[in-house]
Structure 1
C-alpha cells in the first residue's frame, strides 16, 4: 500500500512540474514561506524536479 501511495505522489509531482515548465518561462518560488509548513517534506523534491526540468526546457527560475 505504501508503494502505491508513493507511486501516485511521484507521478503527480512529475506531471505538475512538467506542466509548469511547459506553461511558464520564469517561475519564482517563495521557498522560505513554503518551508514554514514542515508537514510535507515533499517540497524539496518538487523544487529539485522543477529546477531540473526548467534547465531542460531552457527556462529560468
Structure 2
C-alpha cells in the first residue's frame, strides 16, 4: 500500500501562524468588549433603532 506523505511548508506556518494568532486575539478583544458593555443601558432607555430614528429625524433624513 502507498501512503502519501503530507508536507507542510515551514514558510506557510511562518506566514499563516501569526495571522491566525492575530485574528484570534482580535476576535477575543471584540467579544470581551461586547460582553463588558452589554450589561449597561443608556440613560434615555432607548434601543439602538430608536436612537438611529431620532438622529435621522433631527437631521431631516427620512
TM-score (norm 2): 0.39
Structure with more relative contact order (C-alpha pairs < 8 Å, separation 6 or more): 1
Structure having the higher Rg = 2
